[in-house]
């Protein structure tokens, strides 16, 4: 039976995780009680008001006024609280986000650090774009990262993940990256070249050098690669290149999963990083690049049949 025509998926997920100095209960409570959030970070949130319910019980609806990329916007959201796991889910039901997204939700999870003081805070943004021209909402995850940073970053490491639903078969997507030579041909606007420096290029422990475009700059990275065929996972650990001017550690992990229902796959890139100092930028531009890599390779593989 013929499959539907291949088009890039419109649904995806973004995750940011950060270590902060604030205690887990304190961080969770300020967002649950909500009234002090605009006071704490007025450069991000202008106001918050309860539309339905008491504002601290699951099912309540709140409206937030916030600043985003120089614009003043509003969002109306239905909130679910899970105190046991310090989890808050904000499901958008109205406001400016509806102009770009059919579905948009943000989940806050706060966990105590296993050792020492402070907590590990993550925000997950799940979305479905209205159409292909709608942007991947990476600036929104950057907005939440800025909100977390207000509480004091305890260490300079963190994680960022972008995940997209694509139409391409999972094995084909995994193999084009493992075999690597066709990647610059498929997306030359992102990757200029790739060459093997050590090993055969398809076995764990090999070292490859990539030339790429990011944020208007021509850069290169030399990385040691680990392949796990069983889970369709490739880990690129950067050991040399332009990234080392800004980061003590920079690992990019690709994971490809078969969709549980229907055709296609779910592709994610996770960037695990450690900044050299507090002035080093959080690598959002690289997450944007990896999101475009997913879209570009999906389009190429679908077009090639």
pLDDT tens, residue by residue, 125-165: 999 999 988 999 998 988 888 777 665 555 688 999 999 99
Does the active-site annotation cover 150? no
> Which whole number is the average pLDDT over 16-36?
92
| Alpha carbon separation from 250 to 3, 121, 235, 285 (Å, rounded) | 39, 20, 11, 13
Q: Is the pLDDT confidence value at 2 over 60?
A: no
> Does the fold of domain 160-305 match that of domain 10-151?
yes
Q: Which class in CATH covers the domain with range 10-151?
A: alpha beta
Q: Which pLDDT score, from 0 to 100, does residue 151 have?
A: 58
Residue ranges per domain, the chain?
10-151, 160-305
How is domain 160-305 classified at the architecture level of CATH?
Answer: 2-Layer Sandwich (3.30)
> Which whole number is the average pLDDT over 227-236?
98
Start-to-end CA span in the chain (Å) = 15
Q: Which residue has the higher pLDDT, 6 or 163?
A: 163
Choosing from 90, 151, 165, 236, which is the catalytic residue? 236
CA dihedral 255, 282, 290, 246 (to 10 degrees): -100
Q: Which pLDDT score, from 0 to 100, does residue 6 have?
A: 41
Q: Which residue has the higher pLDDT, 8 or 222?
A: 222
């Amino acid at each position: 039976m013929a499959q539907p025509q291949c088009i890039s998926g419109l649904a995806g997920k973004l995750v940011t995780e950060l270590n902060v100095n604030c205690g887990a209960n304190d961080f969770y409570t300020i967002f649950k009680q909500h009234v002090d959030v605009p006071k704490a970070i007025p450069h991000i949130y202008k106001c918050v008001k309860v539309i339905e319910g008491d504002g601290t019980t699951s099912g309540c609806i709140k409206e937030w006024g916030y600043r985003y990329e120089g614009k003043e916007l509003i969002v109306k959201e239905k909130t679910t609280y899970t105190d046991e796991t310090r989890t808050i889910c904000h499901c958008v039901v109205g406001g400016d986000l509806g102009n770009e997204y059919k579905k948009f939700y943000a989940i806050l999870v706060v966990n105590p650090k296993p050792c020492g003081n402070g907590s590990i805070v993550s925000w997950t943004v799940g979305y479905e774009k209205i159409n292909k021209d709608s942007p991947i909402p990476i600036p929104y995850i950057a907005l939440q990262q800025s909100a977390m940073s207000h509480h004091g970053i305890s260490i300079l490491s963190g994680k960022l993940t972008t995940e997209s639903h694509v139409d391409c078969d999972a094995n084909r997507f995994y193999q084009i990256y493992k075999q690597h030579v066709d990647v610059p041909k498929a997306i030359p606007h992102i990757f200029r070249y790739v060459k093997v420096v050590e090993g055969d290029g398809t076995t764990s422990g090999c070292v490859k050098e990539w030339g790429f475009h990011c944020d208007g700059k021509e850069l290169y990275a030399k990385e040691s690669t680990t392949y796990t065929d069983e889970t369709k996972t490739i880990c690129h650990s950067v050991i040399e290149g332009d990234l080392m001017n800004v980061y003590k550690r920079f690992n990019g992990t690709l994971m490809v999963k078969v969709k549980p229902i229907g055709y296609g796959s779910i592709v994610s890139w996770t960037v695990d990083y450690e900044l050299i100092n507090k002035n080093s930028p959080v690598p959002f531009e690289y997450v944007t690049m990896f999101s475009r890599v997913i879209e570009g390779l999906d389009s190429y593989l679908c077009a090639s049949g």
